[in-house]
Amino acid sequence: MGMIEILSAPSPLLIQDLGRRGYLKYGVPRSGVMDEVSARLANYLVGNPDDAPLLEFTLSGPTIRFHSSSVFAITGDVDAYLNDVKIEPWRSYWAKSGDVLKVGTLKSGMYGYIAFAGGIECQKILGSCATYSRAKFGRPLKPGDKLKLGYAILTGKAGKFLPEELVPRYGNDVRVTLGPNLENFTKHGIETFLTAEYVVTQESDRMGYRLDGPKIEHSEKGADIVTEPIPLGSIQVPANGKPIVMLADSQTTGGYAKIGVVSRVDLPTIAQKRPGEKVRFREIGVKESQELLRARERTMKALRKALIGEGNLFRIKLKNFEGLIFAYIDE
């Protein structure tokens, strides 16, 4: 069993996985990683399953000392150094005991990930290692913290890499399915939502991104509704007419009218936006949203098989879905 030590953590550094399932009815958010695609790819690069616990950093990465040999990978648009020698993201590397990994500041995006072969050993709470600070389910890591790594037998081969053309790149368009509270908005309000450009504000966090832009007009029913469940990606619009996109750590119920829900495939797009960056919303139907998710999951399955040695990256063909590149195995 391996071990790493956190030497510095200039920004929030959290242990995350894909979150808690089955506890929304008890008021417990799903939590977990903000960018599911980048996190899963980090795990694939070191031979882990999708849900293996890993590190999520916000903007600035940590400095880590290895107390044992390990294979690791970083995902995100960031410079990193192993013993002061520059290494590349989206590629797995071998580190030996005493080596020091320094991860810089993201050049784009908000969240980056560091995965270790075998995952991170941690105490599960309600079936997950995901950090949810508001409920004290874990806490941000700090200098001096030591983390045990899981066993990585026959996994974690160094030298795995994701080809440049397969690295996720997110644009400004975010696809949404309208509803469920459209009766609380005027036709003009809905048109504004779908045609205006909105800016991510500084008052944004893992719970939700508050957006600034043209006011979305409510109908005579107003902004308030009887409290009801909040699906992941819901877009609430309070009385000020400014949308709030509910993300990983959002509350499970709420009393503001929801004008739409972000398609799951575009949750990483909105999550990776920094304060000051712009987004536009585009309507799609439930069926199209489901088809996009199925296409993404075929891509992820193909990439996982290729990266853990059960497939061939050169047999993966590319297809572009509205600016987001997916891949599939050419059978």
CB atoms < 10 A from the CB of 106, how many?
A: 22
| Structure tokens given for 165 | 């053309």
Phi then psi for 108, rounded to 5 degrees?
A: -155, 155
Nearest C-alpha neighbor of 73 from the set 105, 98, 106, 101: 101
Residue ranges of the domains in the chain?
A: 3-166, 175-284, 294-329
Query: Hey, what amino acid is at 116?
Result: F
CB-based burial, 108-139: b 16+ in 10 Å, e otherwise: ebbbbbbbbbbbbbbeebeebbbbbeeeebbe
Q: Give 150's contacts (C-beta < 8 A, 6+ positions apart).
A: 1, 52, 118, 119, 120, 121
Mean pLDDT by 10 residues, the chain (331 residues): 94 97 93 97 94 97 96 97 97 96 97 97 94 94 96 68 90 96 98 98 97 98 96 97 98 96 97 97 97 93 82 49 41 37
| Structure tokens given for 170 | 């997110």
The total number of residues shown for the chain amounts to 331
Which CATH code, of 3.20.20.140, 3.90.870.10, 2.40.100.10, 2.40.400.10, is assigned to 175-284? 2.40.100.10
| Residue 294: its H or E element | helix 286-307
The DSSP bridge pattern shows strands 278-283 and 173-178 to be parallel
Q: What is the pLDDT of residue 133?
A: 92
